[in-house]
Chain A
Amino acid sequence: MNRRGALLRDGRAALLFLAPSALGFGLFYLVPFGMGVWYSFTDRTGSGSFAGLENYREVLASASFRQAAANSLLFTGIGVPLLIALSLLLALLLNRSLYLRQTLRTVYALPLVVPVASVALVWQIFFDWNGTLNAWRHALHLGRIDWLQSDGSLWVLLLMYLWKNIGYDVILFLAALQAIPASYYETARIEGAGKVRQLLHVTLVYVTPAMVFVVLISVVNSFKVFREAYLLEGDYPYGRIYMLQHYMNNLFLSLDVQKLSAAAVLMVGSIVLLASFLLRAERKFRDNLE
């Protein structure tokens, strides 16, 4: 009780620590965010007037929005768990003593820095109608597949996403693994825990806070794969990989900011729902520790 009281008196300190961030954040993010939300309730940009939920009704009635939302959900639903599982495994591996450990870690981080055009060009070389993959199929006397214009395009995009982001998540997990005090492992060992138990009860448990962040940032990054998809396939790709980002970008170019904002609010709302669920789980977890 005493400690809790002390912590509640942190208000003034919090103000000081938060002030620089809050000022800039308010100006550059919160105000634009608020304006975006406001747009979603108006009928016209600028001199628009309040239109209630009309934009939301229109967005939800749009078959293209529903398609984009379903595609994004599918993509994120497969991509994020896959990415996290793979990168956690790799981070655990890279956290051990290995030969060439430093080189390996650098290699994993490299995809982060390759400029988009270069990446897109390489993917094009592989997945084009005349690309390497089809050359191989041709050599095996199989027909060509127009990879990016088929239902397989989702997997191509997933591959691009994994390739680009695995290093990102590996770095985050590596940092998180370092943050676990060695004493925790020692305690576990003294209590007679084997390696598996140590992994389950120490490593995985203490990686959880970073996990909340990794999940959300991976979701955010799953939307960024749009840039590559856009370079390869333009504003209107094959139906399977027509994502929310395509929908929103097209609405933007159509100057339909009201519907665009409504779609964005719906999207952000869903992610925030996920986030608050994760954060609540995290808080529970923290309370259990203390």
Chain B
Amino acid sequence: MKRAREPLTKLIYTLLAVLPAAALALPIVLTLTNSLMTEREIGSNYDWLGKMGDVAKGQQDAFVNLKLLPDWLSFGQYAQLLLRAPVYLHQFWNSVGLSAPIVAGQTAVAALAAYAFAKLKFKGRDKLFLVYLMAMLMPFQVTLVPNYLIAGKLGLLNSWAAIIGPGIFGAFGVFMLRQFMAHIPAAYAEAARMDGAGHGVIFRRIVLPLAKPGLAALIVLLFADQWNMVEQPLIFLEDAFKQPLSVELSRINEQARGVGFAASVLYMIPMALLFLYAEAYLVQGIEQSGIKG
């Protein structure tokens, strides 16, 4: 806290962080600026992707034209997207409808389970945890067929429940929160226990507040994962109008790269907003959460 007071040090460290950030941002900037180009400009820039100039017949070498700034600003892609292709908008809300319950549900369910794994001692705890881990690691190609059978038995096929159900009970949150809760110093809980608090109280009053950075991180990462889901909805949801936008945006349409860019930009906005919001919690240290060790 004291050490970065010197503006020069602070500047140097800032520059150190800016350089990789610039590299990371490049593809995003590219997406953003390309979304403001006309389809024609995009066509002329990227026409050579995946094609071969016929050198054997004396044709010239051709390359794509990487351009960061559009010749002139055009919002045509966005107009196309919002006005002429309502399915995109519809699928955008599907994405919200699918992701939100999964994130909320998994966070709640996982917080409870993680408390048990991290703060309670019971027989077979570590082995059970390993079982969670194993099941989480199984590639989806293997679990797809059993999941399909189960969803069929439960009558969930072609409904959002087939996605949301498994989403809520994913082990990712359990695993992550367990790691965060495990190292909340035992002394905090011990003190409360001395005062006669039960596990419900300790969980609610002590562990949850202390795990806030972990919870914030979980929500952000979980949302990012769900927001980009592709495989499950592709198979479990038959109707295109039930599918999230991520499925549509999972493949390149060479005829309409521009609209794809614009859709991607719109699609990034909610996540960016969520991150800006969660960021405050993410960096909220233990000292700020009201409990001193």
Contact = CB atoms under 8 A, between A and B. Distances in A.
Interface stretch (A56-64, A73-81, A104-112): A104-112
Interface centre among A7, A115, A290 (most CB of B within 10 A): A115
A271 B137 contact: yes
Interface in A257-282: 257, 260-261, 264, 267-268, 271-272, 275-276, 279, 282
B287 to A, nearest CB: 5
B116 interface: yes
A273 to B, nearest CB: 11
B138 interface: yes
A272 B145 contact: no
A168 B136 CA distance: 18
Interface string B65-93: 01000000000000000000000000000
B240 interface: no
B224 A90 contact: no
Contacts of A124: 49-50, 252
Contacts of B230: 116, 227
Contact of A96 (B4, B138, B272): B4
Chain A, interface SS category: helix
B165 A264 contact: no
Contacts of A217: 172, 175-176
B214 A18 contact: no
B199 A120 contact: no
A113 B180 contact: no
A121 B260 contact: yes
B109 A138 contact: no
Interface string B267-293: 110011001100100111111000011
B132 interface: yes
A131 B126 CA distance: 50
8 contacts: A7-B120, A112-B221, A130-B53, A216-B175, A220-B137, A248-B142, A272-B133, A279-B130
A31 B109 CA distance: 19
Contact of B135 (A11, A30, A90, A179): A30
Contact of B64 (A135, A178, A195): A135
Interface of A: 4, 7-8, 10-11, 13-14, 17-18, 20-22, 24-25, 27-33, 35-36, 39, 45, 86, 90, 93-100, 102, 104-126, 128-132, 134-135, 138, 163, 166-168, 171-172, 174-176, 178-183, 195, 206, 209-210, 212-213, 216-217, 220, 223, 227, 231, 245, 248-249, 251-252, 257, 260-261, 264, 267-268, 271-272, 275-276, 279, 282-283, 286, 290
Contacts, number: 353
A283 B24 CA distance: 36
Contact of B31 (A112, A118, A249, A261): A118
Interface string B23-63: 11101101100000000000000101111110000000111
B101 interface: no
A115 B30 CA distance: 13
B252 A257 contact: no
A290 to B, nearest CB: 7
A130 B49 CA distance: 6
Contacts of A176: 180, 213
A111 B64 contact: no
Given A32-B150, A279-B130, A17 B21 contact: no
B169 A25 contact: yes
Contact of B146 (A32, A129, A131, A267): A32
A114 B27 contact: yes
B109 A231 contact: no
A182 B175 CA distance: 25
B103 interface: no
A107 to B, nearest CB: 5
B216 A93 contact: no
B104 interface: no
Interface string B177-221: 001101111100000000000110001000000110110110011
Contact of B121 (A8, A115, A130): A8
Closest 4 CB pairs of A and B: A24-B169, A32-B146, A113-B271, A21-B113
Given A7-B120, A94-B17, A107-B25, 14 more contacts: A18-B113, A21-B109, A98-B17, A100-B14, A104-B21, A110-B25, A117-B251, A172-B221, A175-B216, A180-B285, A181-B287, A195-B3, A231-B252, A257-B142
Given A272-B130, A276-B130, A21 B112 contact: yes
B257 interface: yes
Given A17-B115, A104-B18, A10 B4 contact: no
Contact of A27 (B21, B150, B249): B150
A102 B279 contact: yes
A98 B201 CA distance: 38
A132 B10 CA distance: 35
Contact of A17 (B28, B112, B275): B112
Contact of A131 (B63, B122, B220): B63
A183 B292 CA distance: 9
Contacts of B121: 4, 7-8, 10
Contacts of A166: 20, 24
A181 B147 CA distance: 43
A94 B199 CA distance: 35
Nearest to B291: A181
Contacts of A95: 283
